Structure formats: C-alpha cells, structure tokens
Structure 1
Amino acid sequence: MDEQLDHAPCGFLTLSMQGKILSMNQTLLNLLGYETNQLIGENINLILTVPARMFYQLYFVPLIKAERPVEEMYISLEAHNSEEIPVLINAVYRSNHDSIDCIIVPIQKRSEFENELLIAKKRTESALAAKRKANQDLEDTLDELEVKQAELIDLNEENMKFKIDTEKELRLARNIQETSLTEPIVQNEIVIDAYYKASSELSGDMYGFYQISPEKYGIMILDVMGHGISSALITMSLQSLFQRLILKGNKPAEIFEELDHHLQGLFQSNEETWHYCTAIYLFVDTNQQTVEYINAGHPPGIWQDHEGVQFELPYTNPPLGSFSGQTYKAERFSYNKGGRLLLYTDGVMDPFESHKLSSLFKKHPFDEFSLFKGKLLQLIKDEENGYHKNDDKCFILIDLIGRLS
C-alpha cells in the first residue's frame, strides 16, 4: 500500500468475498488499536459489533453480491479495547481482483454534535410547553378536566370491549394459522416432522411440506421480518402462494421468483410498510435420491449423511423482497444411503452459536428420529433464556432413507 493511502484521513480496507481481511491502511489500524499482523487474514466480524455483524450479513453482503455499490452505510466497529466506533462505509466490488474495497469514515464527532442538538431541542420544547401550561387559566383547565374525565370513562369502556374482541379475533387467527401447518410425513423413503412456537398470538414464521408425487416432495420454511399481526398477515399470504406453487410442481427458482414478485407487489407503493422475508426450499426426489434447494438469506440448513459427514446449505441469494427483478438459482446434492436434514428459523439459535446444532448432530448420528427431535427441543429450551426468548421458533427435521447398493 502506498504512503499516501496508508496515512489517508480515512480508513481503507480490502476484503475477500468471504469476508476475510486482505489489507488495511495505517489510519484504520490506529483507529481500532490493532497491529497489521493481528487482523490480516481474519474475518471482518472481528472488528464489527454484534449488531453490525447481522447488518453486514443482511444488507452489505447482498448488495455486494448483486454487484451494487454500498453508499454511506452506517455501522459500528469494535476497537481492540472494545470501544464502539460509529462509521460510514462506502464499498465496491472489484471483479478483476474478486475483492471488495471499502472506505471507512469515523463519525464520532458528528454523532456527538447531533445528540447535543437533539438534547437542546427537547429542552427548548419542554420549556415552551411548561410556559404555555403555566399561562392557562385554572378554571378553564378544571372545566376541561371534567369533560375529559367523562370522555375517558366512555373511552375506557370502548377500549375494554375492543380489547376483548381483539383477543378473540387473535385467538381465532392463531387457530387458523396453526391449522394451515402441515402434518408429519412418514414414508419408507422419507420422514418429515416440524416444531412451531409463536412468540405471541401470531407468528412471522411459517413452514409447509407436501408430497407432490409418489417420489417427490417440496419442503419450505420462511421467516417474515418481525412478528405480530403485520408479519402474520404477510406470512399467511405467502403460505397460500407457496403451497399452490409447490403442489403444481413448479421448479424451485420459479417458486422463489413468484414469492419475491408477490412481496414486491405488496409494498411497491408504500416503503414504510416494507417487509423482507428469508426462506429456504427443498425439492426432494427419493427415486433419483437428490435434493435441490434454494436459500434466500435464511440461516443455513444442516445435512449429515449416514457416515456422519456434515455440510451446510448456505444462502446464495438475498432475502425475498430485497430487490425487484431478482433471479434465483438452485443448488443440488445427491445421497445414496440416506442422512438427516435440519432447517430452522433464526429464533431457534443465536447465529453465532449455530455450531451447537451441528455438534448435536455429530454426537447423536444414529439416534432414532423422535429421540433426536427430543434432544433438539431440549437444546433449544436450554438456549432460549439467553437468546431471542421472545422470538418465534420453528424448525423442520427430515430423515432421508437411501437405498443400500
């Protein structure tokens, strides 16, 4: 790195497409309090705060993979002394080097100045409100208070009735949502079961698995951003659509493009209500003994074959609803003597603790299906007090029974 760039008045960082730090200028090293040999070759997660890691995966990576520039993205870095440093990042993908160049500008002073302005504004507004209140006539205030008190009594009665009616409607909606969930499938070649727990009356998680033909199966799990009524309504509209598409025998890419188009259509005129959705879909052919899948921004699925060999089903596409006109490409793998698959939503396990799921697979490779499901539920229960205790939880467990040959 040349002398001017190394001591430029802003940070400079080069990353691999896998997030590995390839180079970094001295300005950024000084800001973070590291030496060069401490960071080169490490993953960028080392210098990101925990929220910034999630933001990096959900927004930064999809933009770069779509070969779009990242412009003035606000994230927080974590210095060697654990200090949080707010920065603006601009980045671009260089195809000739298959790397990502990043310019990083600290904005600590700007944030402090903005906070001071906000505090001053609130103090001024409070002072003006107090002055207006002090100038009001006491008798007028008492008369108004009597009127408001009567209105409040009427309003409380209406609110109580509305609350009771709403709770009834929510219970009915939850029953409808749970009724739409598919029953376990138990066949000679495949066993599928699921677990589903909403954090509130309604959930943003949804799954479905369907027998398309005697030897073909479609398996979908998705997670709409947030939870509650709005997420549940979107979830139900997506569930109705993917069920119809799967049972028609549409290809995985066609299903995802239809779902993405549906989400884009829901929010094209109102960005404030925009929701994205992560999803993973499996198309299983037990005759050909193949699994074709698409992962759109969802936590990676876990596959372990009959010999205990594991690999993940990582996401290679951005979440549904992220970009208009997005195309999707399916991945495929084969199995001969069978294996076990796990698909899950992010409420099940902290993404940085997902290795615990893989470890469970390795420790119990030959457990009977229901026994292994019980151990998986116990692990989730043990972990939920520390992570996303109030988040929706959903997983699908699949056993593929291959033919010995």
Structure 2
Amino acid sequence: MTGKMTVLIVDDNAMNVLVIEEMLRREGYKRLRTAYSAAEMFRLLAGEEDGSLPGMPQVDLILLDLMMPEMDGIEACRRLQADARYKDIPVIMVTAVGDSVKLAEALDAGASDFVTKPINKIELFARIRSALKLKRELDWHKERDSRLRQELQLARQVQESVLPDEVEDSRIRIRAYYQASEELAGDLYAWHRIDDSRWGVAVIDAMGHGISSSLVSMFIASILKESMRTLWSPERVFKELNRRLMGLQWENELVHYYCTGIYATIDLEVGKLNYINAGHPPGFVYRSGGGHPDKLPVSCPPLGMFDKLDLTPRTLALSPGDALYLFTDGILGSFEGEDEDRLGQLAAFLRRFEGEAELERLVRRDSLDERSDDRCLVKIELSPRRVHT
C-alpha cells in the first residue's frame, strides 16, 4: 500500500528534505514530491488540480515544516484548511520547536499530527501510517457519498417523472407549483381525468424527511395512480391508500410513517366538489364573485395511523370561474404566527395575487420558521363559461 500513496515533503532546508526522502524510500514509499517553501507547495498542488503537471498523482499526505521563511507551517496549514480542494489532505507538522503552545497552535490550524526533530524513524512511520489510514477511510466515505448523491439525483428524476403535466382545456385548468426542500421530497400531487366531465385531484404530504419519506411518497404515488383510475371516489381511494399504508411492516416500531392529504373529485357537469381531508391543511375555494374563500377543513385523521376511519366525503357546490387551491404545510412556512394566522395570511395572498410568477416566488420563499420543508401548491381553475350543458 505504501508504494501507492503520494507523500509531499515541504521544508526550506534541502538536507532535511533529503533525509526524510531517504527514510521514506527505504520504507517502500515510492511516490514522493518535494517543495522548499509553502508557496512552492501551493503551486505544486494547484498544478495537480489544473492539469499543468501531467502524471502528477493526488497527494495523500503532507509532511510540513513548522518553521519556514515568508509563510510558516501554521499559516500554510490554515490556508490548506480554508481551501476545499486541500482541506482533507492530512498534514503532519515537522518541527524542532518544543514549545507546546506552538504545537497546539499547529493542531488548531488543522494539522493531523506532529513529529519533532531529530526525527525518530519509528515514530515517523507510526504517525504516517495512522494519518494515511484516516485518509483512506475519509476517501472511502467521500466516494460512497458521491455515489449516494448520484443515486439520489436519479431517484429525484424518477420522482419527478411520475408527477402529472399541467392540464388546460376549455372547462378546467390544473397547475402545480412545487419546490422540494432536499434531493428527495415527501410531498406529491396527482390528478386523473375520470370521464369527460369529472376529474380527481390529490395533494399528499408523507410525514418525515429524506430517503425514507420519499420512498413512502413514491409508494403512495403508485397506489394513487392505480386507485384514482379504478376506484376514483374519495372514500374508496383513501380507504385503499389507508389499507396499503397500514400493511407496511416496520422493523422499528418507534418509527411510523403516515401521510396527510386531500383528495377531491370535481364534477364539471353538475358543479360539485366531493372531498376528504385526512389531517391536511384546509384547501381554499375562491368564488368568482370575490370575498373570503370557503375552506375544505379536516374530515378524518391522517392515513396510515388507524385501521378504520370514517371516510365520509363532504360536498361543496362549484360555479363557473371558481378557483380551488390545495397545498401542503410547507407553504405556510413563508408566513408569520401560528397556523391559523398563517392560513389567514395565505388566504389573503391568494385572494389578491397577480400573475403566475407570484405563485412561483411563493413556493421559493425562505422559510420564516427555519424549518426545511417541501412546498406544494395546486391551483384548479374552472372556466368562467357555463358548467351545465
């Protein structure tokens, strides 16, 4: 392994460099680089980064002299730590100084370890082996994290691919405004055309964050896609979703995932909205004549918590020109106060906003409660034309 590791020796004294080089070569270290000042070290590292030194392998360890002119080892170490390209390279400080304050300053500056002159060969190699072991472990974690990021990006693309496209026809327009807080999201939205005059629309928020909630979200999305097509009514769709969520087996009984959501069917022919709100923030229905919106309040607990639920849908009349807004609680993070206050502020915003760009900005606002949460808002507009034929 030693022959595959690259060690950079930095010392303004050529004899010191020669002695350390010889020690390392006899121990089997073949990839050795040298620099006679901190400035030369940074030029060499920069050349490795930009490719101006072809064939230069990545530096795995730096043996850095503490006392050098112009820029000493402590300052050089600070600059290494301040640069994202070099901060993970372990630095062993080489010093003739026995001042514990200086050594402590070097370690505070980012040095991994130190050896004192005259160098004890056994001590030097023990400290090198320790530093390189930590470097290999760090490199392994960085490679694993890189692979994980790539997999998360792929999973994000898969997640986004199941989200439906905007709907715009002569009688209804449906559009979503969406911002995930992380690589993967727990919020989702879906809609389905039941027949020529009826639509089903759902907004769901899977509890939790990160990979686990996103997996539950994708599980829910697959159930919704099928159940909205075959079962379509609010009570049957949510009954099936609750059954499937309750059927999940969790190894850790203390970790339990569930979801809140609203599912509504819109009948354009008769002007009627049927919905169930399962522990979700209330939706708003704005009437074409203006005024305060009608709310779609909670009608049952969240899904996935109880085997049996009262899934009786509620009904609201709709008229041409009305607009329906369904959203997740992440949207409320843009407003101040308790939940009711924030709902009131959101209702006022939706009543007076001008243009789609304002809704886009709403889902991208910084959260005022310092919580990182997904944001989803679905806007459903009924054409001002007559609903009845």
Give distance in 1, aligned partners of 2:127 and 2:308. 57
Report the equivalent of 1:190.
172
- Look up the SS of the partner of 2:330 in the other structure: coil
Amino acid at match of 1:358: A
Deviations 1:128-148 (A, max 9, x none): xxxxxxxxxxxxx99997775
Please state how far the C-alpha of 1:178 moved relative to its aligned partner.
0.8
Amino acid at match of 1:258: E
Report the equivalent of 2:10.
none
Moved over 6 A (4+): 141-147
Please state how far the C-alpha of 1:289 moved relative to its aligned partner.
1.5
Please state how far the C-alpha of 1:357 moved relative to its aligned partner.
2.0
Query: Does structure 1 retain, via aligned residues, the 8 Å contact 2:270–2:387?
Result: no
Q: 1:220 aligns with which of 195, 199, 202?
A: 202
- Look up the SS of the partner of 1:241 in the other structure: helix
Question: TM-score, with normalisation over the residues of structure 1?
Answer: 0.59
Alignment pair present for 1:274 and 2:263: no
Query: Does structure 1 retain, via aligned residues, the 8 Å contact 2:179–2:363?
Result: no
- Look up the SS of the partner of 1:348 in the other structure: helix
Cα gap change, 1:381 to 1:153, in 2 (>3 Å): closer
Query: Does structure 2 retain, via aligned residues, the 8 Å contact 1:283–1:292?
Result: yes
Report the equivalent of 2:271.
289
Q: 2:296 aligns with which of 313, 332, 337?
A: 313
Instruction: List aligned pairs for 1:64-213, cutoff 5 A.
Output: 149-213=131-195
Cα gap change, 1:277 to 1:237, in 2 (>3 Å): same
Report the equivalent of 2:344.
355
Please state how far the C-alpha of 1:316 moved relative to its aligned partner.
1.4
Query: Does structure 1 retain, via aligned residues, the 8 Å contact 2:279–2:299?
Result: yes
Identity among equivalent positions (%) equals: 32
Cα gap change, 1:388 to 1:188, in 2 (>3 Å): farther
Deviations 1:205-261 (A, max 9, x none): 111112121111111111111221111000000001011100114321111111111
Please state how far the C-alpha of 1:344 moved relative to its aligned partner.
0.7
Please state how far the C-alpha of 1:404 moved relative to its aligned partner.
6.8
Alignment pair present for 1:376 and 2:376: no
Give distance in 1, aligned partners of 2:269 and 2:135. 68
Amino acid at match of 1:354: L
More off after superposition, 207-216 vs 184-193: 207-216
**How many residues matched?**
258
Please state how far the C-alpha of 1:363 moved relative to its aligned partner.
2.9
Alignment pair present for 1:258 and 2:240: yes
- Taking only aligned residues, the RMSD between alpha carbons, in angstroms, comes to 2.4
More off after superposition, 229-238 vs 253-262: 253-262
Query: Does structure 1 retain, via aligned residues, the 8 Å contact 2:187–2:375?
Result: yes
Unaligned runs of 5+ in 2: 1-122, 334-338
Alignment pair present for 1:392 and 2:381: no
Deviations 1:34-78 (A, max 9, x none): xxxxxxxxxxxxxxxxxxxxxxxxxxxxxxxxxxxxxxxxxxxxx
Amino acid at match of 2:222: S
